[in-house]
Structure 1
Amino acid sequence: MAIVRVREHVNPLSKKYQVPISPPDWQKIYAVPSQSLHLDIGSGKGRFLLEMAQQRPDWNFLGLEIREPLVDQANGWCREMGLSNLYYLFCNVNNSLSSILHSIPAGALRQVTIQFPDPWFKRKHQKRRVVQPEIVAELADALCTNGMVLIQSDVEEVAVEMRDRFDAHPAFIRHPENWLDTNPLPVPTEREVSTLKRGEPVYRAVFIKLPDPQLNRQE
């Protein structure tokens, strides 16, 4: 597999990325569009989903990534491997996630991962971080009951901010309450592997989507 070299960071607020995308026709993307869907926000080179899709052929996988060359490369790998349950989409999550989520078959979204997002350390740049309150609210609306969100970062400040924003939304409950010692998924990301090899910590948390209380009211 040839590797494409691209810039490590892309400013999602730049003019180039301000036009929302139109979601594709999922009937043409996936062999079985009704399968449970795992959404990876910020899929990078795409190797995490590439391995997940092979291990779980009964699930569909969707990677969202703002660096278009990485999306083209990853979709090329999919075609080479004949994977019909995996697709990568070039987009700016901050303005395209809502339309993407609304286009997905109802009830299909069961897992979301946000792993090692760009930290944007400078205070004036922190509005570029992917996990904003609006993103959390959109995921709360789209995720099925008991669906899971996994967040990971090797930067404690970023992990705490992501954790606190999901904690603040009434649709989610953190389980367990503390940082996770191990990854609940069967495939680690490349960044996770390299971080742990250096003996450095990874901050992980899992959130579960609560039932909608309006659906459980006794009439």
Structure 2
Amino acid sequence: MASAANGGGHSGRLPRKRFYRARAHSNPLSDSHFPVPLRPSDVDYAQHYPSFFPATSSPKIRFADIGCGFGGLLVKLSPLFPDTLMIGMELRDKVTEFVKERILALRAANPGQYKNISVVRSNAMKYLPNYFEKGQLEKMFFLFPDPHFKEKNHRRRVISSHLLDEYAYALAPGGTLYAATDVEELGEWMSACLEAHPLFRACSDEEVAADPVAALLCSATEEAQKVARNGGQTYRAIYRRIPRQ
């Protein structure tokens, strides 16, 4: 995104989804061909957030939207937390390209805004530790992931007992994990996995009500908007990362 990151050479016209169509989901266990940093220090932050670099404070990514889709959540979060670096991680190449173009267009059309969001094509189920240090993240999002309905494919689900170990590693104590789905069985699965994990606790109703991000789970993404249009229900799971006892 570096070449047009400040809006230079970009028309500011939003991309059209019909030119970036892709399958709704990809197999997260299959091998894909894209560059992966060997360690978090190898991530080129300046390429993603040129307005923040060079910087003496060396800011780091604090929010990660896992399986970010078309980037709706990132776009909504950006003005709410303008000084916080956020990244979307998306496995599908065409969808990733759409989000890149969307961000560049927004930057060009809104000078000084949307400088804190970016996207990378990657598989968070495999490569999360390659991007984030221990306790680096403050918020992680898993919104409307592939349900993988067949029992034999449950190992492909992005929320599972063993993957929560990695998410707990990347999240700072006090950080928040947000999950949402319109599939009741998957919602129960995700909540059960989180409830059973010793490093997560459910946020109280008071905490959820006071969290401005929580309301976005049912409205910010394209998937959430589709569910709302169809009169469906969204099942949320919002959990806090707690210190190891």
TM-score tier, shorter chain, comes to 0.7 to 0.9
Answer yes or no: is the 8 Å Cα contact 2:135–2:169 preserved in 1: no
The answer as to 2:59 corresponding to 1:43 is no
Structure 2 counterpart of 1:12: 28
The answer as to 2:104 corresponding to 1:97 is no
State the Cα deviation string for residues 120-139 of structure 1 (Å, max 9, x = none): 11222222211122321111
Counterpart residue type for residue 98 of structure 1: P
Structure 1 residue 36, shift from structure 2 partner: 6.4
Structure 1 residue 41, shift from structure 2 partner: 0.7
Structure 1 pair 35/97, CA: closer, same or farther in 2 (3 Å)?
Answer: closer
Answer yes or no: is the 8 Å Cα contact 2:71–2:221 preserved in 1: no
Instruction: Spell out the pairing of 1:68-87 with structure 2 (5 A cutoff).
Output: 68-82=93-107, 83-87=114-118
Of the structure 1 ranges 146-155 and 51-60, higher mean CA displacement relative to structure 2 is found in 51-60
Q: 1:175 aligns with which of 190, 199, 203?
A: 203
Structure 1 counterpart of 2:148: 120
Structure 1 pair 188/78, CA: closer, same or farther in 2 (3 Å)?
Answer: closer
What is the DSSP-based 3-state SS (H/G/I as helix, E as strand, rest coil) of the residue aligned with 1:151?
strand
Of the structure 1 ranges 182-191 and 58-67, higher mean CA displacement relative to structure 2 is found in 182-191
Of the structure 1 ranges 111-120 and 203-212, higher mean CA displacement relative to structure 2 is found in 203-212
Of the structure 1 ranges 153-162 and 32-41, higher mean CA displacement relative to structure 2 is found in 32-41
Q: Distance in 1 between matches of 2:150 and 2:191?
A: 19
State the Cα deviation string for residues 95-148 of structure 1 (Å, max 9, x = none): 11121123xxx6541111101101111222222211122321111112112111
Q: 1:62 aligns with which of 73, 87, 90?
A: 87
Q: Distance in 2 between matches of 1:188 and 1:46?
A: 9
Q: Distance in 1 between matches of 2:119 and 2:94?
A: 11
Structure 2 counterpart of 1:154: 182
Structure 1 counterpart of 2:48: 29
Structure 1 pair 16/108, CA: closer, same or farther in 2 (3 Å)?
Answer: closer
State the Cα deviation string for residues 22-63 of structure 1 (Å, max 9, x = none): 162224423445266211111011122122213321221110
Structure 1 pair 7/49, CA: closer, same or farther in 2 (3 Å)?
Answer: same
What is the DSSP-based 3-state SS (H/G/I as helix, E as strand, rest coil) of the residue aligned with 2:232?
coil
Q: Distance in 1 between matches of 2:213 and 2:234?
A: 9
TM-score (norm 2): 0.75
Runs of 4+ in 1 over 4 A off after TM superposition: 180-183
What is the DSSP-based 3-state SS (H/G/I as helix, E as strand, rest coil) of the residue aligned with 2:95?
helix
Q: Distance in 1 between matches of 2:221 and 2:69?
A: 10
Structure 1 counterpart of 2:236: 204
TM-score (norm 1): 0.84
What is the DSSP-based 3-state SS (H/G/I as helix, E as strand, rest coil) of the residue aligned with 1:146?
strand
Answer yes or no: is the 8 Å Cα contact 1:6–1:69 preserved in 2: yes
Structure 1 residue 67, shift from structure 2 partner: 0.3
Q: Distance in 2 between matches of 1:55 and 1:126?
A: 35
Identity %: 28
CA RMSD of aligned residues (A): 2.5
What is the DSSP-based 3-state SS (H/G/I as helix, E as strand, rest coil) of the residue aligned with 2:231?
coil
Answer yes or no: is the 8 Å Cα contact 2:76–2:220 preserved in 1: no
Structure 1 pair 80/197, CA: closer, same or farther in 2 (3 Å)?
Answer: closer
Structure 1 residue 94, shift from structure 2 partner: 1.6
Of the structure 1 ranges 92-101 and 126-135, higher mean CA displacement relative to structure 2 is found in 126-135
Q: Distance in 2 between matches of 1:87 and 1:121?
A: 31
Structure 1 counterpart of 2:194: 166
